[in-house]
Amino acid sequence: MHTPGSAMVVPADGSGKLILVKQFRYLWKKESMEFPSGGMKGADPLVTAKNELAEEANLAASDWRFVGEYNPFNGVTDEIARVYFASGLREAEKEKDASEEFEVVRMTVSEFQASIDSGQIWDGMTLAAWILARPSVLDYVETVNLQR
C-alpha cells in the first residue's frame, strides 16, 4: 500500500509532562492513548505535525525538533512516519477538529512508562515515536527540573 506518509508529535509542557490524546478506536472497540498524529495531505511533515497538534490537542509549540522517522509496517506499506518533539506549548489559535473527539491527557514520564508497562498505552506508532523522542524528552525534563 502506498501512502504519502504521516507525522507524529511528542509534546511536553512547561512542567515536563507529556501530552497525549485519548480517542476511541473503532476497530478495537476501545480507547487508545496516543501522541497527536495524522496522515500527510500534501503538506510537508512539520506542517502536518503542527496541524495535528492544534487539531487534536488544541496546542501550538514554539520549539520543534525532528527526532527521527520509521516505517510502521514495512511488509505492507511504504509509509514513512516522521516524529517531532515539541515544547514551548501554548493554546492554539485554531480550533480543534470538530469531526473527531479527543480527550487531552497529561502525564509525567514515569506515568507514561507505567501506562506502557500495564498495557494501557498500546498504540504501535506511539510506542515507536517514544523510542525516537525519549532522549530529547528526558533532556527537556531534566532542564525543566533544574530550573525549578
Question: Does residue 40 surpass a pLDDT of 70?
Answer: yes
Sheet with 6-11: strands ordered across: 37-39, 6-11, 81-91, 59-70
Q: How many residues does the chain have?
A: 148
Please give the domain boundaries of the chain with CATH numbers for all domains.
6-147 (3.90.79.10)
Least confident of 44-53, 90-99, 107-116: 90-99
- Check pLDDT > 90 for residue 83: yes
Q: What pairing do the DSSP bridges indicate for beta strands 81-91 and 6-11?
A: parallel
- Distance from C-alpha of 13 to C-alpha of 74, rounded to nearest angstrom: 33
pLDDT surpassing 80 at residue 121: yes
Comparing 25-29, 57-61, 113-117, the range with the smallest average pLDDT is 25-29
